[in-house]
Amino acid sequence: MYRFTIKLFTTSALLFILSLVPVSIVSISHAVSVADYDSIQAAIDANPGRMIEVPAGDYEISEKLRLSGEGGGLYGYGRIIQTNPEAIICEIEHATGVLIRDLTFTRAKGKEEAEASGVLLWDNQSVVLENITVIDNRSRRGSIEVSECTDITIRNSKVVNYKRIAIDDRTGPDEPNYGYAFHCIDGTGIVVRDSVGTMIQNNRIVEKNLFPTKEMKDQYNLGKLTEGKYPSKPGRLAGNTFERGSVNNWHQGSAMIVTVPKGSHHTNITGNYLENSAQGIDLHSDNATISNNTLNRCFIGIKLTHGCRNMIVSSNMITHVDKWGILMNPGAASHYAAEKTEEAEALPQNVDAGTIIANNIITDFGYGDEYWNWGGESSGAHGSYGIALFEGQFEENPPLRDIVITGNIVYNTGRDKVMVDGTPEEQTSRYRYAVYAGPWGEGAEPKASAPDPDELHFSNNIFHPGVEGVSNIELTP
């Protein structure tokens, strides 16, 4: 037999008990919902600094959603559909502490190819994107784009189908080194520009719509030169492009890129899954950690160039890459420091140095979608390398220096023997060297910016030989 006693609580006691209840339960009757307004934007404008629920369902918009100010944000399981291909889906600007979570952002059927970003963050601090999905924002701009921000977090989110057929226009005064335009596949999942303290964690970026096949190349004339906004004019990096009338790097963009050398730094990229990208992770920045990511099917896995100093590249799984697994080189934007003069302010250095490449696995090399495009079908595997450490693009670029390469595996999948007519046979490697260090083009005369083997430090790696061996240089500690 149980005895129940009912007691009346004083006001102070009741308040104490309520203080122990989660805030979300106490305040649920006061939640703001877009269902109570004519539009999502009307709800945002009427409730500055408050979290606004977007319940499950489809919400069409024709202008971008705009959030700014301090605090607040959007949450819920609704799907926001942009019907205007010229407009951003959601823009957060001049904001602090805004949170967007659980929502899906997409574009209307038949209007997936866009000229704008999906979710754009500009001039913000401490904004969080969590568990959002951006799907079918097929644009040369980023599906998620961060510009001039501080302490941004993008986690547990998904970007699906971010590429489109486009023209890569490298004509005009902003592109003096090339001077041509060409047909391409382009698009990037996450773009970070000129931002500090960015955290990109446990996201998934996958392309399921466009694949770099021979059929796709023929259908869209990929790589063929075309007219740009300005007259074509060969630049320093044009090479023999005009004679050929085409380029082979027509698969442009990246799953994610962090760029603006010297402007972007202290970035953390961890635990992400990236599939079917051109370049997996593209870095033009300093003081970054790139660890525990999985990159599956790309022609470049991780690229560090144009001034990447003090980077940690560790414990990444890179599979089905067809050109370079990990690439590091001083790009055209790298330079030495310069003292102040009457004509110019002092220029801080922008160099590629002081980096650790450790405990990464590069495997199934040459078994991706672009083996046919990058010369891997030839017996020499052309310029395909597990780890590539190149000279600068120009004579004036500072060389690579103080690079530690330790505990990595470049695994020749061909060593896993295949039964041929009842006999186990080892297959030919699909890369030329596990490690290459030197000029762009074997046998070429090195520039002043060629990496010095004395400043490349190798230890405790497992490097299966490529077609021409383990490396073109002696690998010493």
pLDDT in tens, 377-428: 666 788 999 999 999 999 999 999 999 999 999 999 877 666 777 777 777 8
Query: pLDDT tens-digit profile of 43-75?
Result: 999 999 999 999 999 999 999 999 999 999 999
Choose among 159, 158, 148, 146: nearest CA to 199: 146
Report residue 15 as tokens: 């308040």
Taking only the tens place, the pLDDT of each residue in 320-334 is 999 999 999 999 999
Helix runs in 166-275, H state only: 214-220, 241-244
Query: By the 8 A CB rule, do 314 and 360 touch?
Result: yes
18 occurs within a structural domain: no
Is the Cβ–Cβ distance between 308 and 331 less than 8 Å? no
- Structural domain contains residue 9: no
Within-domain flag for 140: yes
Q: CATH no. for residue 117?
A: 2.160.20
Residue 431: closest CA among 301, 305, 294: 301
The answer, yes or no, to whether residue 440 has pLDDT greater than 80, is yes
- In this structure, the strands spanning 199-201 and 265-270 are parallel
Q: Is residue 186 part of a domain?
A: yes
- The number of domains in the chain is 1
| 379 part of a folded domain | yes
The closest alpha carbon to 287, from 198, 200, 202, 358, belongs to 198
Q: What is the mean pLDDT of the chain?
A: 92
Place of tokens 């041509």: 180
Please give the average per-residue pLDDT across 451-473, as a whole number: 95
Alpha-carbon distances, residue 255 vs 158, 180, 192, 272 (angstroms): 11, 24, 12, 10
What residue numbers bound the domain in which 398 lies? 55-463
pLDDT at 382: 83
Residue 13 lies in a domain: no
Is 28 contained in some domain? no
Check if the beta carbon of residue 305 is closer than 8 Å to that of residue 398: no
Is residue 385 situated within a structural domain? yes
- How far apart are the C-alpha atoms of 461 and 288, rounded to whole Å? 23
Banded pLDDT at 25 (limits 50, 70, 90): very low
Look up the pTM and report it: 0.91
Strand-strand pairing, 180-186 and 164-170: antiparallel
